[in-house]
Amino acid sequence: MGASIPLPTRPTDTPATPAPNVIGATCSVASFHTHTPTTYRTGFPRGVGPSGPDNNADTSDQVPGVVYGYTENPVGSGTIPMVHPETDPAQRYHSTGLTRRPTP
Ligand SMILES: [Zn+2]
């Protein structure tokens, strides 16, 4: 069995069009989430890095995305196996698309 959580859409900016020197404005500039270990799962190996839906959500929201997940094992596979130890190496991955959110 797989498991996933769809990334929510980017929160709206407050105010929607902030002045350059506004105080207290909120503006989401990136997404971040982690991918869980497969320590207690069975089945097929799981891909590492951002998933297709992760990339789609970040592209749609026009933000860079950062995913913290396990490093592929074995090297070159692009996957981690099921029953993968929780303590194995992990790293940051970046979603495809933007490296910086456009200025609102
Ligand atoms: Zn993800």
Average pLDDT along the chain, 104 residues, taken 10 residues at a time: 79 91 93 94 93 94 96 96 94 93 86
Is residue 65 domain-resident?
yes
Question: Considering its fold, how many domains does the chain have in total?
Answer: 1
Residue 5: its pLDDT value, please?
Answer: 84
Is residue 58 domain-resident?
yes
Residue 97: its pLDDT value, please?
Answer: 78
Ligand 1 centroid, distance to 6 Cα (angstroms): 8
Domain that holds residue 80: 32-94
Residue 103: its pLDDT value, please?
Answer: 83
Tell me the whole-structure pTM to 2 decimals: 0.86
Looking at 21-71, list the stretches that DSSP marks H as alpha helix, in order from N- to C-terminal side. Answer: 52-61
Residue 7: its pLDDT value, please?
Answer: 86
Ligand 1 centroid, distance to 23 Cα (angstroms): 33
Ligand 1 centroid, distance to 5 Cα (angstroms): 8
**CA-closest candidate to residue 45, choices 91, 83, 81:** 81
